[in-house]
Structures are given as structure tokens and as C-alpha cells.
Amino acid sequence: MFDTQPFFQCLLNSISDSIAVIDREGVIHYTNKSWDKFGSDSDNLLPRSWFGSNYLKACDDAARAGDQLAARASDGIRSVIGGLKESFLLEYPCEFQNIRYWFQMQVNPLECVSSGYTIIAHQDITERKRTEEQILALSKIDCLTGISNRRHFDEFLRSEWKRCQRQNQPISLAMLDIDHFKALNDNYGHVSGDECLKKIGAVLSRYTRRPSDLCARFGGEEFSVVLGNTALDEAEQIVESLLSDIRSLKIPNVKSPIAPIVTVSAGLTTVWPTRDIDETSGVEAADILLYASKAKGGDQISCRILA
């Protein structure tokens, strides 16, 4: 009978990926040095020797305990063993010593030995995933102010709106616009205008620290604030304080007919989301209220509940 151990050792031990070879029942017949090292480095979370243990059973046990990724792994491995798929890929996270790592599992039949074996490879893709996460985070940030951009605002509002609808909670939405920003740019230059936007973004970020809150640069000199699970009275106090803090910055704008410093107008609406009212309606209502504040002279807030 063909002795697979020397063959596996020659073929797979030099590979940097963590490799295990299983039979049709899921029993492990070989693990390479990288797999064994991964087990020994995992603070006893994993067996130090997998030889002879059943990998499919380990996945099934984890799936029964509620691990959905383990269930997907189990199904994927069986689909390759049964010939339903030529290969199977799965990316999954792991945490060791409070550090998050990412791995990719690849499952393929080991046809060069016989039809009875399947190879499972685990590749560390942590650096790639961290880079992807950094790129994704950067894509949500306004480069000038450092707060969220319009894209992230749209995504966040949609998600928070649905959450508040499920939990029957109010959501408050404020639209803000710098009064006579053109006068500031014309008088002091665009560099001063940019510095003004940065300072206002910093003020907004101090008022949106909860997971249910977000501030964003909506476009130009216009900003937006989302306050999840926040009724109108509380939201109005927050926005009033926010406008007061912006006045306290005393950013010069001597050409403004309102005051010789930068001021902001705001429109605020509070909604109990239902299937009949979507997030677009909330934005439109807050925007209408913003222009009502502008029409009344600026440097103030207009608010109402959207029913």
C-alpha cells in the first residue's frame, strides 16, 4: 500500500501556508510545519497536534455552537469532497491575545495522490485585510475636515434609520450651513475658508461620539448631523449648543451682515421612522427647515417633528 506520509512531507512541508490533508470522512492524515506552528502559537486555543483528529467534526461542533463561519467551512469542504465544487474559498477572522487576524481557507482535491484526499490550506491575509480596511475607512472621510463625507453620511443614515424603525426609536437629523461663507472666502481667501471648515468640523465631532451619531460634511459649506434615538427637545438643545460653540470660535467674517464672526444656520427634524417615511424625506425636511432659518436672518435653528 502506498505510504502517503513521506510523500506529503516532501510535497507540502516547504509550503509557508498552513496545510492539512484529510480523507473523505474528514480525518487528518498530515499537517505541515506551518500548521503545527500555528497550533502551538495559539495559546492552547487549538490542538498542538491535529494528526488523526477529525477536521470536519471540529467544524460541525463549532457550527452547532453557533459559529456560522464554521458551518460555511463544513459545507464547503464537503462540497469539494463530494465533487460538487472544484475548490472552496473562505475568508475569516481570528483573535489571539486581543489582536485580530485574518485568514483565507482554500480547499482542493489532492488528485496527485488519489481521489480519496483533500487538501486544506490556511493563508494569513491579515496585512491585506488591514490595508483594505484602511482604504475603506479613508473612502468615508472628507479629506479637508477629517469628518465623514457625503457617501458615508448616506450609508450611515440609511442604516440608523432602519435600526430606529425596528426599535421604534426617534431619529433626529440636522442640516447646517455657514452663513455668508462666500463673504468670508472673498475677503480672507480660500485658505482661511478651509481653516474655517476644519474648525467647524472639529466642533461637530465633539457632539457625535455615540455609535448612533454621525457628523458629516454634506457638501461645500454645508454639514449634517445624525442623532439616533434622540427626541426633538434633546436634539434642539444639542444643536443650539453646537451653534453657540461655533460662535465662540470667533472666526472673523466682518463682511457678514449678521455678525463680524462666523455664524451657522440650522434646520432640524425628528422622525419616528416607518415604512411610509424614508431617510430621503428626513433630509428634505431638514433642508427645508435650514432655508427657513436662512430666510429669517440666519444664525438660528428651525425645527419640527416630521409626521
How would you write the pLDDT of the chain (307 residues) with one tens digit per residue?
A: 344 555 445 445 545 678 889 999 999 988 888 777 766 555 444 445 577 889 999 999 999 999 999 999 999 999 999 999 999 999 988 877 788 888 999 999 987 655 689 999 989 888 888 887 777 776 789 989 999 999 999 999 999 999 999 999 999 999 999 999 999 999 999 999 999 999 999 999 999 999 999 999 999 999 999 999 999 999 999 999 999 999 999 999 999 999 999 999 999 999 999 888 899 999 999 999 999 999 999 999 999 999 7
178 CB-near residues (< 8 Å, 6+ apart): 184, 196, 197, 200, 221, 222, 262, 263, 264
Given 160, 221, 236, 279, the catalytic residue: 221
pLDDT at 33: 81
pLDDT for res 116: 82
The angle subtended at Cα 246 by Cα 267 and Cα 174, nearest 5°, is: 20
Q: How far apart are CA 142 and CA 197, in angstroms?
A: 11
Residue 29 pLDDT: 87
pTM: 0.63
Side chain identity at residue 31, one-letter code: T
| pLDDT of the residue at 113 | 52
Active site residue 25: no
At 195 the three-state DSSP class reads helix
Per-residue pLDDT at 139: 77
